[in-house]
Amino acid sequence: MSAATLLTNPTTMSNALPNEISPAVLLARQEQGKRDVLLDVREQNEWNLFRLPDAIHLPLARVSSSASEALARFPDEEIVVYCARGARSAQAVEMLRAQGYNATSLAGGIAAWIDAGGEVEE
């Protein structure tokens, strides 16, 4: 693969998944009955306020050391990672992909999810 291909199509660098999924696309997938594995990488105090339903909590600082335990039931499934606005989830996606997971970041984080009409739970 050429460097030009990697620069024009960055998703080919680690795997075929895009780096991000929009809240609208995730909502549409849920409406079609697809249940993605949702991974919240925010801190405990943020998680305590609200989260996406059925999400798994694993703070960013623990992703490298604890992902295999937290995600053991989902070795081949796509992991949609989110945080408050998208920066930490992008970092977590890189860490997870390095460990062999199919991970994608929720664009704009939980803030964009709420703005798009996505459901949260307390």
Domain boundaries, the chain: 16-115
2 pLDDT more than 60: no
Enumerate the active-site residues.
83
Window from 13-22, 36-45, 96-105 with minimum mean pLDDT: 13-22
Q: Per residue, what are the HEC states of the chain?
A: CCHHHHHHCHHHCCCCCCCEECHHHHHHHHHCCCCCEEEECCCHHHHHHCECCCCEECCHHHHHHHHHHHCCCCCCCEEEEECCCCHHHHHHHHHHHHCCCEEEEECCHHHHHHHCCCCCEC
Q: What's the N-to-C CA distance of the chain in angstroms?
A: 46
Neighbours of 89 (CB within 10 A): 29
CATH topology of domain 16-115: Oxidized Rhodanese; domain 1 (3.40.250)
20-38 pLDDT, tens digit each: 999 999 999 999 999 899 9
pTM of structure = 0.85
47-104 pLDDT, tens digit each: 999 999 999 999 999 999 999 999 999 988 999 999 999 999 999 999 999 999 999 9
